[in-house]
Amino acid sequence: MRSWFDWRHRAPDPVTDGDAAVVDGDADRVEIEHEVARREAAERRVASAEWRDAYERGRRDERARRPTFSLVSVAVLMAAIVGGGAVFLAAREGSFTRGGEVVDHTLSTAADKAQAPIRGAADRTGAALEHAGQSLKDKAGSGDQSGK
């Protein structure tokens, strides 16, 4: 019994003398078709390379047009965080008024804690300046007495 794919393994039919001229004419036509196919393939490769280049240029241009990080985006993000926190506190405290009181109390406590070291440093600086001024006066006064 013959297989369905038996035709693949059979030898081609021999060409008769009358068909040889047709085959030779076909060979030229086939060669021309192959040349046309090669040219079209080369044009497609060039066209696809141009498309890829244009695509990459477009991606670069879009990235350049849209900055990845800006001060405005940071400000919007911070405003969104603060707004979310205010809504959370309002929900937890039961009203926006009590939530605002919690925020005010927290901010005043944080400001006092931040100002304490600054006040201490300012007091120490003021005391050091007074001491330096007094020291200069004493030296200037002792210089006047030795000259008399």
One domain for residues 62 and 91:
no
Query: Could you report the per-residue pLDDT of 123-142, keeping only the tens digit for each?
Result: 889 888 888 888 888 888 77
**Tokens in use for 86?**
């205010």
In a domain? residue 83: yes
Domain housing 133: 69-148
Query: Could you report the per-residue pLDDT of 73-121, keeping only the tens digit for each?
Result: 899 999 999 999 888 888 888 888 888 888 888 888 888 888 888 888 8
In a domain? residue 56: yes
Q: What is the pLDDT of residue 65?
A: 81
Note if the pTM is more than 0.85.
no
Helix 96-147 × helix 71-93 angle, to 10°: 120
One domain for residues 57 and 93:
no
With b for 16 or more beta-carbon neighbours within 10 A and e for fewer, the 102-117 pattern comes to ebeeeeeeeeeeeeee
One domain for residues 129 and 147:
yes
Q: Which of 1-15, 48-62, 99-113 has the lowest mean pLDDT?
A: 1-15
One domain for residues 139 and 75:
yes
Query: How much is the mean pLDDT over the chain?
Result: 79
Q: Give me the residue label for tokens 């979310």.
A: 84
In a domain? residue 101: yes
Band of the pLDDT at 69, cuts 50, 70, 90? confident
Q: In sequence order, what are the residues at sequence separation of 6 or more whose Cβ sits closer than 8 angstroms to the Cβ of residue 147?
A: none
